[in-house]
Amino acid sequence: NAGVTQTPKFQVLKTGQSMTLQCAQDMNHEYMSWYRQDPGMGLRLIHYSVGAGITDQGEVPNGYNVSRSTTEDFPLRLLSAAPSQTSVYFCASSYSETGVTEQYFGPGTRLTVT
Amino acid sequence: GNSVTQMEGPVTLSEEAFLTINCTYTATGYPSLFWYVQYPGEGLQLLLKATKADDKGSNKGFEATYRKETTSFHLEKGSVQVSDSAVYFCALPSGGSYIPTFGRGTSLIVHP
C-alpha cells in the first residue's frame, strides 16, 4: 500500500512550457484534490474530483487543467507555465464516511518556472 | 463557505514548554474539525480530529477541544519536544463538498 504518490519530486520549466504533474492513489478513495502551497498563503485548492469522470474548480484554477479517467489517477496539467506558478504542489485523496473526511497527502512536487 | 483563522507564526519555544496554537472557525452547522502537521520536506498528515461539539481529539500528546460557544479548536501540548518542530494547519470541510479548507498554517520552532 503506497498511499498517494506524486511524480516528479522536482521540476524546472521555462515560461510557456507545458507539463503534467502525476498523482496516483491505491486506497480506492473517491475524492482527490490538488493544492498549491506558497509561503504565507497556506494551502490553496486548485481542482478537485469527487469520482471518476467528475472534476470541479477550487479557489485558484486558472492555468491548470485536470481529468479523472480512473479512480486511481488524477493528473494536473499546466498549459503554459508562468513564473507565478512556481510553488509546491500537493495531491491528496480522501473518502467520505458519514461526512467525516481525512485527507491523505502525497510528498509534493516542487516546481520552479523561470 | 466555511473558513478557519489561525494565529500567525512562527511560534518559538524551548523544549518542555507549553504550546497553544489558536484556531477559530466560521461554519454552517457543526462540521468535523481537523489539525494537520507538516514536517520539513513532507506532505501534510492528520494529527487529530473532532467530529462533534465538545469532542476532544488527541494524538502524540497533542489535544484540541471542539468548542461551539467560542467557535474554536485550539491545539495544545503540555511539553513540546524538538521533534515537534513543524507547520500546523487547522482545517474543516469547505461546506460545498467534503474537500477541506485549510488555515494558513502556524510554524512551530522548538529549541533544545
- Tell which residue, A111, A83, A91, has the closest CA to residue A43: A91
What is the pLDDT averaged over residues B14-22?
97
What is the pLDDT averaged over residues A88-109?
85
Provide the pLDDT for residue A99: 58
The tens digit of pLDDT for each residue in B39-94 reads: 998 999 999 999 889 999 999 999 999 999 999 999 999 999 999 999 999 999 87
Q: How many CB atoms within 10 Å of residue A7?
A: 13
- Tell which residue, B102, B111, B81, has the closest CA to residue B10: B111
Nine-digit cell string for A107:
510528498
Whether A102 sits inside 8 A of B101 (CB atoms) is no
Residue B12 has pLDDT above 60, yes or no: yes
The tens digit of pLDDT for each residue in A35-67 reads: 999 987 889 999 999 899 999 999 899 999 999
Containing H/E element for A76? strand A76-78
DSSP B33-100: EEEEEE-TTS--EEEEEE-STT-EEEETTEEEE-BTTTTB--EEESS--GGG-EEEEEEEE-SSSS-E
Phi, psi of B72 (to 5 degrees): -130, 160
Candidates A101, A105, A109, A110, partner chain B, best to mutate (most B CBs within 10 A):
A101
Residue A46 near residue A61 (C-beta atoms within 8 A):
yes
Distance between A51 CA and the closest CA of chain B, angstroms: 12
What is the pLDDT averaged over residues A14-42?
94
Residue B97 has pLDDT above 80, yes or no: no
Provide the pLDDT for residue B96: 64
Please give the residue of chain B at the shortest CA–CA distance from A100.
B32
Give A-chain residues touching B102 at CB under 8 angstroms: 35, 42-43
**A107 upstream amide cis, omega within 30 of 0:** no
